[in-house]
Every structure is written in C-alpha cells, then in structure tokens.
C-alpha cells in the first residue's frame, strides 16, 4: 500500500478566525464604553482592512474607500 498525503489545499490550511463585521465592532465598542460617543474610528478600521485584503498602501486604500462613497 502506498502512502498518500492529503493534497487537498482546504484541509492543509490553518483556519483564521472570523473577522468581526463593522456592526459587531460598533456593538462591542458600545458595550465596553456606553458613554463614549466615538471610541472606534471606523474609517481607520476600514482603511486597515482594505490594506490587509488587497495589499494596498494607506493612500491606495483611502482612495478606494473614498471612490465608493466612504
């Protein structure tokens, strides 16, 4: 019998934790500090996520966000 490795790419990758949605981030922020009016900078969060997803610079990410009304 031959040794067979599991060559399925979806089984060999480590699963990364689910990223929180913007709504979840806002809700968590409200729960942690209900009296703060702006404890989360949503634009900065969106910029950071866009940079990570598309390997953009901060300027490129901001330009993309602003192009779509952000």
- The reported pTM is 0.56
Phi-psi region of 69 (alpha: psi -120 to 50; beta: other; left: phi over 0): left
Residue 4, in any domain of the structure: no
Distance between CA 2 and CA 56 in Å, rounded? Answer: 45
Instruction: Classify residue 12: in a domain, yes or no.
Output: no
Q: Which domain range does residue 44 map to? A: 40-70
Count of domains observed in the chain: 1
pLDDT per residue over 8-35, tens digit each?
Answer: 555 555 656 678 887 888 788 778 776 7
Enumerate residues 6+ apart whose C-beta is below 8 A from 6. 12
């Amino acid at each position: 019998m031959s040794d067979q490795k599991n060559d399925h790419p979806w089984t060999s990758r480590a699963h990364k934790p689910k990223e929180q949605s913007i709504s979840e981030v806002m809700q968590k922020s409200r729960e942690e500090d209900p009296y703060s009016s702006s404890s989360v900078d949503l634009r900065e969060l969106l910029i950071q996520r866009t940079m990570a997803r598309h390997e953009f610079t901060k300027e490129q990410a901001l330009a993309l966000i602003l192009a779509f009304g952000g």
